Structures are given as C-alpha cells and as structure tokens.
Chains A and B, each alone.
Chain A
Amino acid sequence: MNSRKFDFFGNMKYFSIASLVIMLAGLVIGLIFGFANSSSINGQAYLYSILAIIISILVLLIYCAIRHGFYSAFAFLLSSFHNVALLISLVVLFRIPVESGLLMALCLTIALTAVFEFITLSKLTPEMKITESRKTTTNDLVVKSLKQLIIIGLSIVVVLVLGLLIGGVSILNFVRPALLGTIISLYCAIFITTEYWGLYVKEKRKKKIEKDETVFIEKESENGKEISTPENAKQDI
C-alpha cells in the first residue's frame, strides 16, 4: 500500500464532519419517527440496553487504561461513543427494526472498537520505541497497521454476508446491524482514530527525543566536552 496516495493523517476532520452529519440526521429522524418497530421494546429493555452499553464501555475503558495508559483509554472512549452513536443513527435512518439483534450488534461493535485499537497499538508501539524509525512519517506508521485492520474487518464482513446469504430472513435482524457495526468500527479505526494515533506517535517521539537529548547532554557533560544538541533530532517528527 502506498501511503503517499492518501494522507490519512490530517483528514480526520472531514470524516468526523461526515459522521456528525449522519448522527444529526439520525437524531432528527429518530425524534420525528422514532425507532422502527419500537413497540416491541419497552422502557426496561431500553434501560438494560443503555446499561449494557455504558457498563461494557466502562469495563473496557478501565482495561485499556490499565494495559495501555491514558491515551489508549481516551481513544477507546471517543471511538466507542462515535461508533455506538453512528450505528444507532444508521439503524434509525435505514429503519432497521429495533430487536435483540441490535443489542448483539452493539456488543460486537464495542468489542471490535477495542480490538482494532489494540491491533493498531501493537503495530505502533514497537515503532515508537525505535529512535531510528523517526525517518518514517506518522502517516506511514498508521498505514502499517491498516492491513491487519482491513483483513480482520473484511473477514467478519465475509462471515456475516455468507450468513445473510444462507440464513435468509431469519437472521436478517441480527446480520444487518452487525454488518453496519463492523463497517463503522473499521471506518472509525481507519479514517478517524488514525489522526489521533498520529498525534499520539508524535507526542511519544517528541518525549523520546527530549529524553535522548537529555541523556546525550548529560553524557557529554560527564565527559567534560562542550555541550551540543543533536539538531537533526527534531527534523523528522
């Protein structure tokens, strides 16, 4: 994949605006027409669904924070809210009946949001630790993780589509929102959180360079030499 063809880093705002427009449209349509087939869901079911979403996001948020720190937890929080809101908006816009299938799809969406984040992190973390890789741009780094994300996302989509083709109408109410959820998670991981990760990489590298500089200066001082800062250190951020 040639990373120069499309600059993922720097285009988040356009995709965020697109998401926001869909969410607003979903909100307006939802307020006017409500959910499709919402008579089969009562207040308690709505309450339980909201509780399930909030608690699962909280549990995964704590997990992210413990395992990968504040940046990761914050990224998960933002992207999971984005994904859940976008999925519900699309369910409203496409008039997909609100049934138990939507809850299953929401579960899949939230879990996939975290999965995609961990896959991206697994690609980015080693790169950030290597000082030599400063020559690669943040966009290149982000692109490196995309292949894995696309393979995972597409594999799930293929299983769901095959399930839809074979399972027919009986499975439609589960597969439709699950497909939407998977695509939304993938879309968010590729087009929206990439800029966030770009900033994250930049920040980490900056800290790494500053640390390297301090160590360099300290070493030179210890040796009684004239202190000089490596000028090229900041060039390739």
Chain B
Amino acid sequence: MKKSRTIKNFIGILVICVILFIFAVVKFPLPASDNDYVGFLRAIPLGIEYKGGTTYNYDVLCNTTENSNSAEGIEAHALRIENLLQSSNFDAKVYSSANTIRVDIFDEYDAGDIAYLLNTDYSLSFKTEESLTAETKMSGTDIKNATGTSNNGTYGVYLEFTATGRTLFKELTSSVISASSSGGNVYIYIGESLFTPITVKEAIDQEGVFISGSMTNLKTAELYAAKINASRFDYEFSLNAKQVISQNQALVNLISSGILIITILILGFAWLIIKYKKLGLYISLGVLVTLLSQIILLQAVPVVLLTAPALIGSLLTFVFGILGTTFMLNKMNSEYNLGKKLFASVKFGYKKSFATMLDVFLVLLLASVVFYIFASTMARYFLISFIIGLVCYGLDVVVINLWFSKWYLNINSSKAELCGFKREESVNELA
C-alpha cells in the first residue's frame, strides 16, 4: 500500500516537473490579450553578452576641484543617464565604478556616440521668474544632498542646503515675499526643463525643504533626487572604449553557455544515478525540483541579471548541491558498512552529515550576503544568483534529500545494492 502510494507520489512529482519545464521554456500568445506568455527560463533577464548590443565605457572627467572624486556623484549621474537613455527609447543599463561609467545598450548595434546625451545640460538653477534666461539665484553646488522620500503620503524630494545655500535660499524667498506680500513662486530648473515651481508665502530659513510636485511614486522622487544630486558634481563624460556584441556573437555565447549548463547538469545527474543507482535516480528528482525552483526564483527576483559570472555562480551552486548530496549518501553508505540495516543507515547517515551540510551552505550564504552589501552592481549580479542557488540547493541537501530517501525506502527497504551501498564481506548485519 505504502509502496504504491510512494510510486504515485514520485510519478506525480515527475509530471509536475515536466509541466513546469514546459512552462519554463515555451512562449505563446495569450488568448484575448495582446501579450505573450513567456516561460520562466526565457523571462530571466540576460546580460549584454547573451542579448547583444553595445557597451560604452566613459571616463568621468571632473571640471572643478570641488567634489572631484565622489562615488556618490558618479552613482547619481549613472541613474540620471539611465533615465535619460530610457526616455530616449534605449533599452539601457548604466553601471558606475570609480572614475568610469559603463553604459550597456541592448539590441542596439550602432547607437553611435551617445556622449551628447550624457553631457546634456543637467545643471540645477533656482530662478524667481519662469524663464530659462532669468538670472540663476542658486545652483547645484548650494545643495548638500537631495533625497527622494514621502511626507504624509506625498512623494517628493527633500533638499538639504549647504550653509551658503541656506543663506541664499533665505534671501531668495525673502526677495519673493518683498516683491509681493501675498507670496510668489521660485522656479527650479534641471537643465532646460522646469522641475517644479515652489509657492513661497514666507521667508524660509531652514536646513532644508521638502518639494513635492508631479512625483507619483517613490521611484520618480528618487530619480529627481538623483538628477539634483548629479547637478552638484560638474562632470563630463569622454568615451574610452566601445564594444559591439553582435546578435550572432550573442547567440554563440548563449549556445555555448547552454552547452556548458547541459554538460554540467548531465554530469551531475549521471554521477548520482551511476553511483547510487535507484536511490540516486529518485534523489535526482529532488535535484530537478530544486533546479526548477532556482529557475523560477531567478526570473522572479527583480535584481537578477544573468551575466556570464552570474551563470557560473548558479552552476557552482548546482555543483555544491551535487557534492552535498554525495557527501550525505556517502555517510549513509558508511553507516551501512558498519553493519546497520538500510533504513537505519539512511537515518543515521543523514543525521551525521546534516550538521556539516548546514555549516557548509550557511557559511557560503553568510559570506555571499556580506559581500552583496558592499559589492558593486556587476559583482551583485554574480552574488544574487549565487545566493538564490545556495538557498535552493541548501534546502535540497538538508531537507528534500531526506524526504526523497525516506520515500524511496517505502519502495525498497532491503536491497542495498539498488542504492549503490556496499558492505565489506567481513561485516555482519546488526540485529
């Protein structure tokens, strides 16, 4: 009874795996909708090496001695540039490092020199008239910091002034009040576009002000904050290197990586099945479930981008999973070799290897999480894939393997040779 139910369970899991796999790879138009269904595997965002496009590396040149070497400024510029490119209909990602900015434009093989876009006027100016030619009363250098935030449910930017900025803003608002006792407006321009007018009813002498306007969510507010922060740093971008990854080259990269993945997966599964025979086969089903969960998570977690290092990171976790499983099965084999019965061997083998496997996956996870906090964007793509894989295969090794091994014992609880377990002839089975 137990045996047939277990076999049914395994068949059920296998069918679910097959269905999940089909849904992972297929793409079809959704009925009564203009959208397509895109499988999990296809939906994982790919890096430029697999998608094709143009990579630009820009040197960041500083025009002033103030704020000359600030990662904060470069990060703010990266966000500003990414938004600028996206609003110009480019599918782009921008990464910042020390004194360089890398721009990846996907599916675009001759975007030309985009420096003109990057160097578009981004200066911040406070004016008392709604005119570009009006005198600038305050600029980006008078701002200490800008933060996208919300105040009583309203999204906006909190501007923190420098000491000079505070005095200038007080003078500015005082002049507006003195011109008209009922108040007036201060106009803030970013580059050539009006960011927002501020209604002033009294002279403001504060460390900072909260400005709300057309910002409908926190992301928009943070973007405006980044634009304002960028204006604090007078940078220029000069093209250092440009690399075009053609569609063919991207396809070759994708196919060769696919071959690598399939080779390692086959080697892993074959190892388990050859060494541990039927038990290995059933445990492989557990690994397959984990692999599918890993794919689902990779497409579901928003910060994932499958670059070449990220792919290697995911593969490494698969290898850790296989090695962990092997370690556990070896322990079970050792217990069997001591004379224990098959059920007891599985139970005690698991018990003895559990702590070590938990240690191994936890230390890998802890180190990755700590590094993720401090890493640059490119390193984070590797680390997030690595973390996802470690969580999946860690659970597989310390939890799922036991379930599958115990289930398998419902089918076969006496024939150790079907599990690939060996015992020396001199060892007698314990009663």
Contact = CB atoms under 8 A, between A and B. Distances in A.
Contacts of B326: 151
A114 B312 CA distance: 21
Contact of A103 (B69, B263, B379): B379
B368 interface: yes
Contact of A166 (B260, B316, B376): B260
Contacts of A59: 366-367, 370
Interface in A146-161: 148, 151-152, 155-156, 159-160
Given A40-B98, A40-B100, A110 B367 contact: yes
Contacts of A104: 309, 313, 371, 375, 379, 382-383
Interface in B193-221: none
Contact of A48 (B362, B367, B374): B374
A40 to B, nearest CB: 5
Given A40-B97, A159-B264, A166-B256, A174 B382 contact: yes
A226 to B, nearest CB: 37
Given A104-B382, A111-B368, A166-B260, A45 B360 contact: no
Contacts of A175: 312
Contact of B363 (A49, A51, A114, A155): A114
Given A103-B376, A107-B383, A122-B353, A162 B364 contact: no
A167 B364 contact: no
Contact of A63 (B264, B366, B368, B379): B366
Contacts of B363: 60, 63, 111, 114-115, 118
Contacts of B382: 104, 174
A20 to B, nearest CB: 25
A52 B376 contact: no
B49 A170 contact: yes
Contacts of A114: 359, 363, 367
B35 to A, nearest CB: 32
B276 to A, nearest CB: 15
Given A111-B364, A166-B259, A52 B371 contact: yes
A152 B257 contact: no
Interface in A109-155: 110-111, 114-115, 118-119, 121-122, 126, 148, 151-152, 155
A63 B363 CA distance: 8
B327 interface: yes
A38 to B, nearest CB: 9
A162 B264 contact: yes
Contacts of A107: 367-368, 371, 383
B38 interface: no
Contact of B367 (A111, A119, A151): A111
A63 B362 contact: yes
B428 interface: no
Contacts of B366: 56, 59-60, 63, 111
B15 interface: no
B24 interface: no
Contact of B98 (A41, A101, A108): A41
Nearest to A50: B374
A167 B257 contact: yes
B356 interface: yes
Contacts of B327: 119, 148
Interface in A164-212: 166-168, 170-171, 174-175, 178
Interface string B369-402: 0110111101100110000000000000000000
Interface in B328-382: 352-353, 355-356, 359-360, 362-364, 366-368, 370-371, 373-376, 378-379, 382
Give me the 3 closest cross-chain CB pairs, A-B, nearest first.
A42-B98, A52-B374, A111-B367
Interface of A: 39-45, 48-49, 51-52, 55-56, 59-60, 63, 67, 99-101, 103-104, 106-108, 110-111, 114-115, 118-119, 121-122, 126, 148, 151-152, 155-156, 159-160, 162-163, 166-168, 170-171, 174-175, 178
Given A44-B71, A159-B315, 7 more contacts: A39-B99, A56-B370, A59-B367, A60-B367, A100-B375, A167-B256, A167-B312
8 contacts: A41-B98, A104-B379, A107-B371, A115-B363, A155-B319, A159-B312, A166-B256, A174-B382
